Amino acid sequence: MRNAYVDQFPAEAKVIKAAFWSSFLALAIGGSLGLLQALHRTDVLRIMEAPDYYTVLTAHGVLLAITFTIFFLVGIFTWGVTTSLDRGLVDLRFTWGWYAMMVVGTVLVGVSILGGVVDAIPMNADVLFTFYAPLQPHPAFYVGLVLFVVGTWLAGADWFRTWLAWRSDNPDERIPLPTFMALTTTLFWYLCTLGVALSILLLLLPWSLGIVDSVNPLLTRTLFWYFGHAVVYFWLMPAYMLWYVMLPKLSGGKLFSDPLARVVFVLFLLLSTPTGIHHQYLDPGIAEGYKFIAMTNTMFLLLPSLLTAFTVVASMEHGARQRGGTGYLGWLKALPWRDPVFTGMALAGLMFAAAGFSGMINAGMNINYLVHNTWWIVGHFHLTVGTAVALTFMAAAYWFIPQVTGKELWNRSLGLVQVLVWFVGMTFMSNAMHRSGLFGVPRRTAEPQYENFAFEPAAGSMGEINAQVALGATLLTVSLALFLLNMVMTSLGGSSDEIPDNTYAETLSGPEDAPVVLDNLKLWTAIATVLVIFAYTLPLASIIDAGGLFGPGIDGFQLAIEAGPAFVLESVREVIA
């Protein structure tokens, strides 16, 4: 008797399937645009005008960092909550409601960005993922973002009410680990999105509609990063969840420690938000002390990630030894390397370790000056969100799509090749990006070729760096195509009885070893709130005090000038003269 997720929760499986396909669609579009950019930047193939690069970059950033990751997240968390509580969602109409809201939000944002290259759409949102005012998008861009975020809030409410319903039936039980993870993640998501939602609704949207005529760019920027760093943990947490609850089982063993997994997620709840100012080490108008506080919090965030590295590797070793592995390192041979789900997640974890090292450099307040806004940063986050998250999600899809459709994976070997090609492609691309950042090559730049100077690599040449990036991006696109092919072919296939049961990893040290206080979500939320107040009240107060809530008459700019740069430069010079 088959006991896959679709057999246990057929209605929820439909929602999850819809969320996954929304996510894959964003991945397909955003990923392909990535190739276009990589080839343009490296001057291998330029099929678009330089200004269009920024439209494409906006779409790439928003579709991959927000749409792809978060649609997948809501699918995974819905799976985790329902599976671990062993009960369905309270009201499926509500569930479809938040899903629809997220879709509408995405479409609004997508169309407004598309307006940057399609003349028929009278919109423009060439503001990149960070939408720093006074660059000004069409109001639809802001409205879409808000709808999307509110959709995720309702998704969180859905998981909470399901948990509360379960709680009334099971008053004395510990919160099952996957649910615990989903709930703590949702809590810090509420905390951090509050900042950007207020920023958009009270400051940016009225400004873009012409209701108020000015913004304070430093204020909206600070409110963006109030959300902007926590969001990276938001999309990382489902990957962590999979590493904790899936990877040990795939390795053939059990999770090393349930209590420490809880500690890790509590630490993320506490520290995700009061770190955002570390993206603003180079910003004027923020005193050094506030930057130092953000750095301290950031450095302590290394702790849960280092703990995760230990637990995940220990769990894998445990699994390998259950499978007959021996020796100090010989057990590695006993791991199920032919399984794309395992191999993809393991390689994603390996690359995340590398990303951790470059992240430590970024977090260092003084070393950051060398790499801030260089291509190094892009290399860093292509290892984190672009591999630790994306590769884990793709690998997980090889397990989840059969679970939610009841159809067997079309081609497992192709899946293995796909995750390996991603790993190799990302190695080339992110390594070259990191290296070029060290000698000052900027990020977010369509054609980084300057008239007054040339970049001087410490080793190798700029041409070599560009070749590695172009090669890497091409391999990544091939990998992406293989993934999508496998997903489509799987969905076209027939129902199968060979689907494994829907379970997750058991633990060596279970929740009974974890202090009950770890499950006290109110307490942790209260402490997290206090930390946020501590980290943000004074900086925000001083920014508002110095520049005003709305700034000194700063208009919006849509820097798209028909006449080209020469004309603008000339007129600017006239103003100066």
Partner 1 sequence: MRISKGALLVVIAVLIPFIVEFRTALSWFGIEISVLESLVLGAVVVLAIVIWAVWPPNGDAEAEPTGSS
Partner 2 sequence: MNIHTYEKAWLVAAMVLIVGFMATITYGAVGPGIAMIDDDGGTIDPAEINDHERFGEPGVEHVGDDEYEVAVVAQAWSYTPEQIEVPADSEVTFYVTSRDVTHSFSVVGTNVNTMVIPGQISEMTVRFDEPGEYGILCNEYCGEYHHTMEGKLNVVPEDEFDLTELSVDAPSEVEAGNETTITANVSNGMQEDLETTVALEIGDQGSERDVTVPGDGSEEVEFTVDSAELGEGDHDWTVTVDDYEETGTLTVVNATDGGDGSAASGGDGDA
Task: Give, as ranges, the residues between 512 and 551 that touch partner 2 (CB under 8 A).
Answer: 513-515, 542, 546-547, 551
Q: In the window 148-177, what residues touch partner 2 (CB under 8 A)?
A: none
Write down the least CB distance from residue 31 to partner 1, Å.
20
Query: Environment class of residue 336 by beta-carbon count within 10 Å: exposed (0-12), middle (13-18) or buried (19+)?
Result: middle
Cis status, amide bond into 402, omega within 30 of 0? no
Q: Which does 496 bind (CB under 5 to 8 A by kind): partner 2, partner 1, none?
A: none
Q: Does 126 bind partner 2 (CB under 8 A)?
A: yes
Which residue in the set 118, 201, 209, 303 belongs to the binding site for partner 2 (CB under 8 A)?
303
Q: Does 126 bind partner 1 (CB under 8 A)?
A: no
Which residue in the set 435, 466, 532, 536 belongs to the binding site for partner 1 (CB under 8 A)?
435
The contact pattern for partner 1, residues 63-102, with x = CB under 8 A and - = no contact, is ----------------------------------------
Q: Does 330 bind partner 1 (CB under 8 A)?
A: yes
Residue 156 CA to residue 186 CA, distance in Å, equals 6
Q: Work out whether the CA dihedral 78, 81, 85, 86 comes out positive or negative.
A: positive
Known catalytic residue at 233: yes
Report the 3 state secondary structure along 337-366.
CCCHHHHHHHHHHHHHHHHHHHHHHHHCCC
CB of 200 or CB of 475, closer to partner 1 = 475
Compute the C-alpha angle 523/526/527, nearest 5°: 90
> What is the residue whose two structure tokens read 């950042």?
437
The contact pattern for partner 1, residues 240-259, with x = CB under 8 A and - = no contact, is ----------x-x-------
Q: Does 388 bind partner 1 (CB under 8 A)?
A: no
Known catalytic residue at 318: no
DSSP β-bridge partners for residue 374? 442
Residue 5 CA to residue 8 CA, distance in Å, equals 5
Write down the least CB distance from residue 543 to partner 2, Å.
9
Q: Which does 250 bind (CB under 5 to 8 A by kind): partner 2, partner 1, none?
A: partner 1
Residue 78 CA to residue 149 CA, distance in Å, equals 17
CB of 33 or CB of 128, closer to partner 2 = 128
Q: Does 438 bind partner 1 (CB under 8 A)?
A: no
Residue 124 CA to residue 493 CA, distance in Å, equals 41
DSSP 489-517: HHHHSPB-S-PPP-----EEE-GGGS-GG
> What is the residue whose two structure tokens read 């799509």?
401
Residue 163 CA to residue 173 CA, distance in Å, equals 12
Known catalytic residue at 60: no
Structural contact between residues 72 and 18, judged by C-beta atoms closer than 8 angstroms: no
Which residue in the set 256, 381, 400, 504 belongs to the binding site for partner 2 (CB under 8 A)?
256
Annotated catalytic residues are 229, 233, 380-382, 443-444
Task: Write out the residues near partner 1 by the rule CB under 8 A.
Answer: 250, 252, 323-326, 330, 333-339, 342-343, 347, 350, 416-417, 420, 423-424, 427-428, 431, 435, 459-460, 464, 468
